Amino acid sequence: MKRTDIGGQAVIEGVMMRSEKGTALVVRRGDGTLAKEFHHKRTRYKKGSFPTWPVVRGVYAFFNALSDGMNITTRAAEMLGEEEEEPSKFEKWLAKRFNKSAMDIVKWVAIVLAVVLAIGLFFLLPIGIISLLELIFGKMSAVWSAVVQGLVRLAIFLLYIYGISKIKDIRRVFMYHGAEHKTIACYEAELPMTPENAAKCTRLHPRCGTNYLFLTMAVSIIVTTVVSALCTLIPGFTVWHDASKLNSFLFRLARIVLILPIAGISYEVLKAAAKHENLFCRIVRAPGLALQHLTTKEPTEDMLEVAIASFELALHPPKGDLEFDEKATQPKPEEPVDPEPAPDVPQDNAAEEADK
C-alpha cells in the first residue's frame, strides 16, 4: 500500500490538493468545464528555524490553514465564473483606507469574524453555561469546572457540525470532501485513478482536518484539566479562585491563552497517529474517523472526476505556475458578416426590364 503526503480541502464545487511541490485547485464551472490552477510551493520557513520546531509548527500550521483556506475558498468562488456582488460603501472605504482591494479586506474581516465566532461559541459560551450550572448546583472546583467545560465544548462542536451538515450548500461541500478522501484512498490502494475505482474506496482518512478538530477538543480537555489541577497545588490559589465570581471568570478566561499550545500539541498527535498502526494510534484516530461520517458524504461521479483532476495536477504539476484565465474560456464574439453584394446587372438588360 502506497503512502502519500498529499492532502486537500473541499471548496465550493471543487477540490484543492496540496503536495510538497505546490497547490492544485480544480473547480467545475457552471458550463460543466473544469477550471484548473497550480501554484508552486514557496518555502515560508527554513528547516530548523523556530517555526519548524515540534509543537510550534502546529501553531503556525493552524494560522496558515486559516489564511490559506480563506484564500482558496475565495479563489474557487472566482473561478466558478459567477458574478461578484458590488462591494458595499464600508468595504470600499476600508479598501481605500488600508490601500488594499475590497476582496482582501472582506477576506480578512471574514477571518477575524470566524476567530471571534469560534472563541465565543467554543470558549465563552461554555464558560457561561458553567456559570449557570454553578448557580443551580453550587460551586465547582477548578478541576471539575475544566472537565465539564470541555465536555460542554465538545457537545457544542458536535451539534454545530450536525447542524451545518443539513444545509444544502454545505452538504455539497461535504460531498466534495468525500471525493477528496476517496481519491487519496484510491491512489494509496494502487488502483487506476478513475471515478469508478475511487467510488469503491473509503471516504474516511486518518489525516483529515476533522480528526484535527476533534483531537484539539480532546487535548483541550486534558490540558486544561491538568493545568487546573496543578494550579490548585499553588498555596492560596483555591482561596483566590473561590473569593469571587470575577476571579473564577478571569481564571477560565485566562485558559483561552492555552489555545495556541493546544493547537500545537494536537498537530503533533495527529501526525504521529496517522503514521503508525499500533493499537494506541488506532484508538486516537477512532473518534475523528467516526466524526467523518458527518463531515464527508458520498460523492457523485462528476465530483470524483474533479478530485482526481486536482490530485493528478498536484502529483504531476507543470514546470511553471498554471493560472486560470476566465477570459480565455469565454467565446469570442462573432464578427459581423457583410451582406453579399447584389450581382451586377448589365445596363442594357436593366433597360429591357424597364421597358417591359
The string of pLDDT tens digits covering residues 65-116 is 877 887 898 889 889 876 555 666 766 666 677 676 666 666 677 778 877 8
Q: Is the pLDDT of residue 356 over 50?
A: no
Q: Give the number of domains in the chain.
A: 1
Q: What integer pLDDT is reported at residue 327 of this predicted model?
A: 62
Q: Is the pLDDT of residue 14 over 80?
A: yes
Asked if the structure places residue 46 within a domain, the reply is yes
Instruction: Let me know: does 130 contact 152? Beta carbons within 8 Å.
Output: yes
Type of residue found at 278: N
Distance CA 278, CA 275 (A): 10
Q: What integer pLDDT is reported at residue 354 of this predicted model?
A: 42
Residue 256's alpha-carbon distances to 114, 223, 239, 245, 251, in angstroms, are 16, 12, 22, 18, 9
Alpha helices in the chain (DSSP H): 56-79, 89-98, 102-119, 125-137, 142-164, 168-188, 195-199, 209-231, 237-243, 245-254, 259-275, 279-295, 301-315, 326-329, 347-355
Distance CA 101, CA 91 (A): 9
Distance CA 39, CA 17 (A): 11
Query: What is the percentage of the chain residues whose pLDDT exceeds 70?
Result: 83
CA Rg value for the chain: 28
Q: Residue 45: count other Cβ atoms within 10 Å of its Cβ.
A: 11
Q: Which of 95-104, 108-117, 174-183, 189-198 has the lowest mean pLDDT?
A: 95-104
Looking at residue 256, the DSSP 8-state letter turns out to be: G
Q: Is the pLDDT of residue 352 over 50?
A: no
Mean pLDDT of 307-333: 81
Distance, first Cα to last Cα, the chain: 93
- The DSSP-derived string for 15-33 is EEEE-SSEEEEEEE-TTSP
Q: What integer pLDDT is reported at residue 317 of this predicted model?
A: 93
Asked if the structure places residue 344 within a domain, the reply is no
Q: What integer pLDDT is reported at residue 308 of this predicted model?
A: 97
Asked if the structure places residue 348 within a domain, the reply is no
Mean pLDDT of 174-195: 95
Q: 129 or 87: which carries more pLDDT confidence?
A: 129
Distance CA 106, CA 85 (A): 12
Distance CA 161, CA 159 (A): 6
Q: What integer pLDDT is reported at residue 2 of this predicted model?
A: 80
pTM value is: 0.78
Q: What integer pLDDT is reported at residue 198 of this predicted model?
A: 96
Distance CA 110, CA 157 (A): 20
Are β-strands 14-18 and 22-28 bridged in parallel, bridged antiparallel, or unpaired?
Answer: antiparallel
- The DSSP-derived string for 13-82 is TEEEEE-SSEEEEEEE-TTSPEEEEEEE----S-TTSGGGSTTHHHHHHHHHHHHHHHHHHHHHHHHTTP
User: 261 falls in which pLDDT band (50, 70, 90)?
Assistant: confident
Distance CA 310, CA 30 (A): 18
Q: What integer pLDDT is reported at residue 213 of this predicted model?
A: 85
Q: Is the pLDDT of residue 329 over 70?
A: no
User: 351 falls in which pLDDT band (50, 70, 90)?
Assistant: very low
Looking at residue 100, the DSSP 8-state letter turns out to be: -
Asked if the structure places residue 104 within a domain, the reply is yes
Q: What is the mean pLDDT of the chain?
A: 82
Residue 59's alpha-carbon distances to 127, 251, 268, 321, 335, in angstroms, are 24, 23, 10, 28, 57
Range of the domain at 254: 7-317
Q: Which range among 12-16, 43-47, 259-263 has the greatest average pLDDT? A: 12-16
Q: What integer pLDDT is reported at residue 228 of this predicted model?
A: 83
Q: What angle do CA 17, 18, 23 make, to 5 degrees?
A: 90
Q: What integer pLDDT is reported at residue 86 of this predicted model?
A: 62
Mean pLDDT of 233-242: 77
Q: Which of 7-16, 188-197, 228-237 has the lowest mean pLDDT?
A: 228-237
Mean pLDDT of 284-310: 94
User: 185 falls in which pLDDT band (50, 70, 90)?
Assistant: very high
Instruction: Let me know: does 53 contact 33? Beta carbons within 8 Å.
Output: no
Asked if the structure places residue 324 within a domain, the reply is no
Distance CA 251, CA 245 (A): 10
Q: Is the pLDDT of residue 38 over 90?
A: yes
The residues that bridge with 18 in the sheet, in sequence order, are 7, 23
Mean pLDDT of 7-32: 93
Distance CA 234, CA 176 (A): 50
Q: Is the pLDDT of residue 348 over 60?
A: no
